Every structure is written in C-alpha cells, then in structure tokens.
A and B are shown apart, each in its own frame.
Chain A
Amino acid sequence: MKKIMLVCSAGMSTSLLVTKMMKAATEKGIEIDIFACSESEAKQKYNDVDIILLGPQVRFLLSKIQKSVEGKNIPVAVIDSIDYGTMNGPVVLEKALKL
C-alpha cells in the first residue's frame, strides 16, 4: 500500500485536505495511506513513505527534503496553490499519484 505524507507548518490546514483525499481514494477504490504532519515530525519519516507533498507555505523545505531523499525514488512536490486553496482532494490525489 502506498503512503503519502503531507507536510505543513503545524498541521493546521493539511488535516482537512487529508480527509478529502482519503474520501476521494475510497470512492475510486484506491488503497492508500495518507497522513499529515508538521515540519519537525516529518524529518523522521522521510524514508517510510512513497510520496511527499508540501503545503505551499512550506515551499522553503522543498530543496532540503529533496536532498535528503536523493536517489531513493521518493517524489517530492509542492501542492498547487489553487488545489490547496480550494481543498480539492480528488485533484491533489490524482496529481500525486502521477508523480
């Protein structure tokens, strides 16, 4: 089962997005584990997940995380701001799986 990690500053806004993504996944019948965590919690989990998504407000972490998972085939991306702003679970999920 694939694991997606969403990183944001204090888990304020991502938790809702996670719920919506999970809902979209269930409707499509995709088995997946999605969870949200803060910058500092994320550090210990880089290697346990398959995809890492960042809230746009923590864009500054992108290069740092990319470096620490280098060569491990774990895609890292910043969520599109419109998708994020409108809490568009299905689209975020779809784009993530294409990474």
Chain B
Amino acid sequence: MRKIDEVMNWLLSHTEQEHTAKEIADALQLDRTNASRYLNQLQLEGKIEKQNGRPVKYKVLKNSESSSTQPSLDKKFSLDFLIGAEKSLNVPIQQAKAAILYPPRGLHTLILGETGVGKSMFAELMYQFAKESGMVTSSAPFVRFNCADYAENPQLLTAQIFGVKKGAYTGAEKDREGLLSKANGGVIFLDEVHRLSHQGQEMLFTFIDKGYFRRLGDSEDKIISEVQIIAATTEEPESTLLKTFTRRIPMTILLPDLKERGLKDRYMLIQAFIKEESKRLSKSIYINKNALESFMLYECPSNIGQLKSDIQLACAKAFFNYKSQGKSYILIELSDLPQQVGRGHLRIKENRQELEKLIRYQDDIFKFHYDEDDTYLNDEDVNDSYFYEQIEHKLSKLRNDGLNEQEINQIMSMDIEKHFRRYIVDLSPKFRKDEIAKVVDVQIVEFTDRVLSEAARKLNKEFDEKIYYGFALHLNGSIERLRNGKKIYHPKLNLIRVNYPDEFLAAMEIAKSIDETFSVETPLDEIGYLAMFLASTPNELTGEKAANVAVLIIMHGNSTASSMAQVVNTLVGTTHCHALDMPLSMKPQSMVELAIEKVKEIHEGKGVILLVDMGSLVNFSELIYDDTGIPCKTLDSVSTPIALEACRRAVLGRELSDIHNACTELMGRSTATNQINDIRKRNLIITVCFTGEGASERLKDIISHKLELGASFEVVPMNILNRKDFAHSIVQYRQTHEILAIVGTVDIEEQGIPFISAVDILAGDGIDRLKKLVSHQDEYIKIGESLSEHIKSVDAKVLISYVRQFIVDSERMLKVSLPDDVKVGIALHLSFLVDHIKQGISHKDKGELEDYIAKNSREMALIKQQLKSIEHIFKIFFSQSDIAYLTKMILSNHQDTV
C-alpha cells in the first residue's frame, strides 16, 4: 500500500476526533515531515480538512467519507493489495467486492479452498472492505469462530453461535447471548463450517432465509440480527455436504491453491514473508540463490500457511547460526531449510528457464529488508493486460519528456515488437494446447480456433501453432482489458493498415466476431494488433537465433569430456556444450588440429570458452586464436559444476570475459589480474595490426593528432603476428607502464585492458572513449599531485593508487556501477580518512548509521574485506562507522547502466 493511502486509511478508521501530524506519524511509524507532506497532499485533493490552531490538526472531510460509500473503480482497497490481485486472485476479489456491496446488506458468502490458502485472511479483508466502502460503520464488529473448536460437542457449538435461553439444557443457568447477536451490524466469519451439526446447519439456513433465529431452548423470541455471514470450508466443492451449503449460500468464492497461482505470486509471497521476518529482527536477511530457488519450487501441500512457517523456520535457523557462529550477517543457506523445502532444488532442471525469466539474477545472494521496495522480479515478465499499461505509461512519460509524436512512435514500435516476440517466438515448446487452456478461457481457445481457420482460408495461408497460442493469449488479455473499460493504443496502426491491407480486412472481421461473442467493442487500435498476428509468418518472427559464446570441453581420456558434456547438456536442457575426447595415445599436435576444426564449426561469432583438464590443453586457446582469429578463453582443472555454470551463462547470452570471470571466481581463484593502476607509471596506448606497420602506425597518428596527450602518455604500434610474443611484451610493458587501452584492427582480449576497434576510432565513438580513459587517468594524476601537498603521513601517490583499486574492486564485488565524478569524491574521502587515522585524528562515532549497518551487514562485510590491503599496507584499522560511510557512498550512488 502506498504510504499516502495508509495515512488516509488510518484517518478513515479514526474519525472520532482530529489528529496532529505527529500522532499520525507515530501511529504509522512515519517520519513526521513525511506525514505532514502526505497530509497536505490529501488536503489538496480535498479528502481531508485542516483545523486552524497550533499544532495543526486534520480530519477526514465528511463528504469524503460518504462519497466512499459509492466506491469508484479506481480507488484501491485493502483487498486490492493482496498478492496476485491483478491476476490469480482477480476473480475472487471481484466476487468478494460484489458480495459486500450487494444491496442492502451484502450477500452471505462461502469461501472454498485447501488448507492454508488464506481463507480467514480473505474473510478479514472482506470485512475491511465493508468498512472502507462504508457498507458497515467503522466500529462494526467482526466475529470469528472456528466450528472445529466445538465439533466434539454439537450442542455447545450451536449454543455458541445462537445463544442459550436459561434452562435449555442442564447447566444452562442463565441466558447467554450468541455470536450471531454479538456480530449484529457487522460480519461473522465461520471457519470450517462443515463441522456444524445437522441441527446447527438447519438453524443457520433458517437465519439465512428469514433473517432471524431463536436461541437454544427458546421457542418464542425471534432474534433479528443484521449480520453478513462469511463461511469457509476445505471440503471438496463436489461433496454432498457442500452442495447443501452452496444451494443456500448465494455467493461462493474459490481461492486457488499455491500451485495454481504460479511462480510470480509465489515469489511475491516469499519476498513478503522474508521481509516480515526482517522487520522482526530489524536487520536485512540474505538468502542464497539455491535456497531461494528451493522455496520457489518445493512441494508445499499446505499452501501459503506452510510456506510462511517454513520461511520462518529457515529464518530462525539462519538467525541462530548468525548469533552462535558470530557471523557478520544473517544468511539463509540450503542447509538451513526444512528437509522437504531443500528437496525443492531437485526440481530446478525443469524450471530453470522459467525462473530465469522471472527473477533477476544479479548476484548469487539476494537481500531482503523490510524498508526497501526492491524486488528481484524482472520487469520483462509482465502479464498481458499489464503490457498495455506499460505502453500507456511509457507513452505519457515520453510525452512529458517533450519528444515529438514521430520519435515516440519509433520508440513505441520497438516495444511492440518485443511484445510480439515474447508471445510468439519465446513461447516455450512445452506450452501445448492443454497448457493454454489453463491460463486462457476455454471459450477463447475455441474462438481462436474458429476465427484463425477462417482467416487462413481467406488469406490463403497456414498459421503456425505458435501463432495460434500467441493469438489466444493476446485475445485473453485484450478482452479482459476492454471489459474493464481500458484503452488500447497502437502506435503503428497506420503503417499496418497500409502494408497489410488484406490482413487488416480479415482482422476487422475477426473484431466483429469478437464484439458479438464477447460483448465488447474492439477499437481500431486493437484491430491493428490482430492484423499483426495475421501478417506474421513463423519464419520471419523466429528471426535469427541470438549468437552465444560456444562451449567446448576437451579432456584427457576416452570419454571423459563427452560424458561431462552430456551431463551438462541434460542438466541445462540444451545441446550447447560440445566435447572433444583426447585418448592418452593421441599427440597434442593432432588434438590442436581437431580442436581448431571444432572451434570453427561451433563458433557463433561471440568466441569460445574452452574447458580443459590439464597439460598441453591449457595453452590451446592461443594456438587456436593464432590459427583462426576466433577469440578463445581457457579454464583449466575443470569440474562438472564449473562446466555447468559456463554453459548456463553461455546460453543466457553472457559475454566471453563475463563467463570466464564468473567461473574463475567460482573456482575460488581471484580474478584481480588488473593490477594496481599506479599513477607513478607512464601511460600507454597500444595500437595493433597484423604487421605492426601500416594500420597500427596510421592509428597511432590519428590518436596522437586527436588527443592532446600529456607528457606521461605514449602511443606504441605493435604487431600481432605471433600471439605469444604479443602477450609477452604486454607483460613486460605492464611493469613500467599503465596500459590504458589497446586499439586495433584485430579483436584482442587481454585481461583487464579495454579494447577499442579501429572501426570505432575512425567512424564511431572510439575517440571519445579513449578521451575518457585518458582524462580519467589524467584526473588521478592531478589528484595525486594535489594530495601530495596536503597528505604528509603517507606517500599520497601510492595511497591514491590503492584507493582507486579499492573502488574498482568494490564496484565489482557489490555489483554496482558508479559515475566517474563520484569515484573521485570517494577517492578523496578515503585518502583523507587514511591520513586522519594515520595522524591519530579521531572522528567521534555519531551513531547515525546504526540502522544502515543493520540493513547492509553483508555489504559492509564485503567492503571491509576490500579494505584489508589498505589496512595492511598503511598499517591502520578502519572503524565500523568508517566502513559504514564508505558502504553508503558506494551503494547509494549506484547508477543503472543504460
């Protein structure tokens, strides 16, 4: 719920008197200034009024309260904030609202669903809705009663609900009021209503039919109570018992079980529950990838209730480890999970693709904090009615940014194509007809069948299965949207009309059938979309398969490599991993030749990652590169998990160096090959071509001419005839020089050195990139000189080199990206900090970052680790608050890479 809505809701439920901003801030745990801001906003919107005097008091405007008795569709109620409200719970929520709003006093309702699907919470939210919509007063009672509690004693059970007249049975010594009377004017929730005795059921039905009841042992006094009954049961809808209920209770709401609700809802639930625990512990909770995946996938027969308690259990275990083992942060690992949850990870293979689409895997550890709204859900993964909203949202944003219609149309059409790709191309092959029937109304499936075969006949073309599914899915979304009275917008409408006149005509006829069948009015823009479906040909849409880094395993032994590749392919679910076996009798030279042939065959244009075991194989990548010019990288001593990771990343479309680094890290080796960028060294830009004359000389001239290089910069042309010699000279240069970039006609991947192609220098942004690198280096040289004047306790130039390295490493560790000027600021801060510590100048800990420390304990631990080398070299120690400030500077300045 938005904070401002919380404020409004609180005011609505506290209408007895006026309130100050402070009271509201305290009640809702808000900052007082924020509370005032919301209050002012609400006042401007005319929802509340301000009372004169000091302190200023606020109250809900009378008409605002009464106007809400006719709730508009736009307003959000507590019910609408349920996870899955737009999708899996959409129908139940619509039903619930209808049941409450039905005049004059709402409809009695029966909620069905398995154990743990949230029936009682749903009932309570219905009651909240009754209050929010003004159907009952804000002080109306809500009485909950579980019929299972007295199931052993039917008489007592009935007595509880209906009340007792004195002397009705032995022991009934005085008149007692029943819960039905207590709930007068409000709502009664009867859980496990099927446990009610036969007599009790009859009494309940009489009340439902006639609006009155009699107490036990009372045959005269009719008691009238204005109560809305919400009953709930786990009984199968088909059971005979239930049939009696469904016949007498007008509204039946079926809550879906966890499995039916899909992975997105499940993720949202997990996120909400972990955040709840985080609030309880007032610390961030971290969970590693495998553990999170287990929660996403395990068999959870008791639904949300069980999911929640399993999460609580895991959090408790992780918290215990954190305390007992003195860890620096709370981390849920696979071993902390209850056994049945841990088993969920066995199902990762079938679900990997779907999870990777749904969740953003930026790190192997996920962080949850109660105060943060972050989510790891991919924006891409949105349902279709949401797609239209995105279009609308983006449209208004672009207009606000002052773009003209033509530019807007261009940008928007790209999005639309993406939408199409998602529907047609990305539709996974397992998404068969019976699958589609699960998410799409049967009526729509049949309708699609009919209209598409009609269109196929008219247009004289065949429609691929994929188009069929895509069309059905799309229709499902657009009809829902039209029914909700929302707009549909198509930026390419005119283009489509002109380019595909026949398809457009056919689409118009389909639209006519849609209008007749589903009683909606299909707008012209939607016809544009339909025409796009009709105009698409599968080949055109399948497009080119994106190029990925190829994966090749080469190992000693008759079948070691091929069997590892087989395992990897099976687990990842691809055929992307290739293998070459090297029997011990084979000579390395013949193996090189085989490898070269294989690399040529499997190279898709993005390089090859070689996974090898040992010996001569380790040097293959350079030999292959020399022969073929295809960039290769080698990982040696490879094991199945490493091969899995490499293949997984390759299939995801990651770059060669990214795959290489990730695997190296996974193997526990440091990737810190980019040495300290020492500003005392001379700076070098290398230009390369095959001969070391011609092109590289020419490039040198261009660079020297376009860049005004200071005295400490050099440009050196080199040849790359022999890859090994080249690598050797690089190593030598690195001793005395800082290599800022390699520029050349041949693609060179040298650890940690940026490469700029000759084409980019001549025609692209190459010169600008080079300028940036140079000026950045220049900047540090200047800073180093300036610092030398002010910092005397240590060699400032050495210090700034280490500081700079720290910033680069921290960015990588925390997976953030910082603007250049921020890096300079942090460098200055850290340099002076070291100087101060060295001189014994103490800064008193103001304790202002305590919350921050609780929230970011893992990030703090990582930064602390990165600071170790500075602590070591300069013989100092950083305090907790020093580290907290640094962590904050680094995390808060993160910019999303565009």
Which A residues are within 8 Å of any B CB, using their own CB?
Answer: 8-13, 16, 38, 40, 55-60, 78, 80-82, 84-87
Contacts and interface: CB of A to CB of B under 8 A. Distances in A.
B140 interface: no
Contact of B828 (A55, A78, A80): A55
B567 interface: no
A51 B369 CA distance: 35
Nearest to B830: A12
Interface of B: 779-780, 782-783, 785-786, 790, 819-822, 824-829, 831-833, 836, 843, 846, 848, 881-882, 885, 888-889, 892-893
Nearest to A86: B786
Contacts of B831: 13
A60 B892 contact: yes
A13 B829 contact: yes
The 9 closest A-B pairs by CB, nearest first: A57-B825, A56-B825, A81-B821, A85-B783, A81-B824, A60-B892, A86-B786, A56-B821, A13-B828
B822 A16 contact: no
Given A10-B829, A10-B843, A59-B819, 10 more contacts: A10-B833, A10-B885, A11-B843, A55-B828, A59-B822, A59-B893, A81-B779, A81-B821, A84-B828, A86-B785
A57 B828 contact: yes
Best-buried of A56, A60, A84 by chain B (most CB within 10 Å): A56
A8 B848 contact: no
Contacts of B848: 38, 40
A62 to B, nearest CB: 10
B824 A9 contact: no
A55 B821 CA distance: 9
28 contacts: A9-B888, A10-B881, A10-B882, A12-B833, A12-B836, A12-B843, A38-B846, A55-B825, A55-B828, A56-B824, A56-B825, A56-B826, A57-B828, A57-B889, A59-B821, A59-B822, A59-B893, A60-B893, A80-B821, A81-B821, A81-B824, A84-B821, A85-B779, A85-B780, A85-B782, A85-B783, A85-B824, A86-B783
B827 A55 contact: no
Given A10-B885, A58-B889, A87-B786, A78 B821 contact: yes
A10 B830 CA distance: 11
B819 A82 contact: no
A81 B892 contact: no
A57 B810 CA distance: 14
What does DSSP make chain B's interface, helix, strand, loop or mixed?
Answer: helix
B825 A59 contact: yes
Contacts of B882: 10
Contacts of A9: 829, 885, 888-889
A84 to B, nearest CB: 6
Contacts of B836: 12
Contacts of A87: 786, 790
A93 B229 CA distance: 72
A43 B241 CA distance: 65
A92 B783 CA distance: 15
B786 A12 contact: no
Contacts of B783: 85-86
| Highest count of chain B CB atoms <10 Å: which of A78, A80, A86 | A86
Contacts of A58: 825, 889
A86 B782 contact: yes
A19 B785 CA distance: 19
B826 A57 contact: yes
B822 A57 contact: yes
A12 B878 CA distance: 14
A11 B836 CA distance: 11
Contacts of B825: 8, 13, 55-59, 81, 84
A70 to B, nearest CB: 12
A65 B883 CA distance: 24
Contacts of B832: 12-13, 16
A97 B826 CA distance: 25
Q: Which of A9, A16, A38, A85 has the most CB of B within 10 A?
A: A85
B786 to A, nearest CB: 4
A8 B836 CA distance: 16
Nearest to B834: A12
Contacts of A56: 821-822, 824-826
A7 to B, nearest CB: 11
Given A16-B832, A40-B846, A81 B820 contact: yes
Contacts of B779: 81-82, 85
A8 B782 contact: no
A57 B888 CA distance: 10
A56 B830 CA distance: 13
Contacts of B885: 9-10
A12 to B, nearest CB: 5
A81 B845 CA distance: 27
B71 to A, nearest CB: 33
Contacts of A78: 821
Contacts of A82: 779, 782, 824
B844 to A, nearest CB: 10
Contacts of A13: 825, 828-829, 831-832
B892 to A, nearest CB: 4
A58 B828 CA distance: 12
A55 B829 contact: yes
A43 to B, nearest CB: 10
A78 B843 CA distance: 24
Contacts of A11: 843
Nearest to B894: A60
A41 to B, nearest CB: 9
B786 A57 contact: no
Nearest to B833: A12
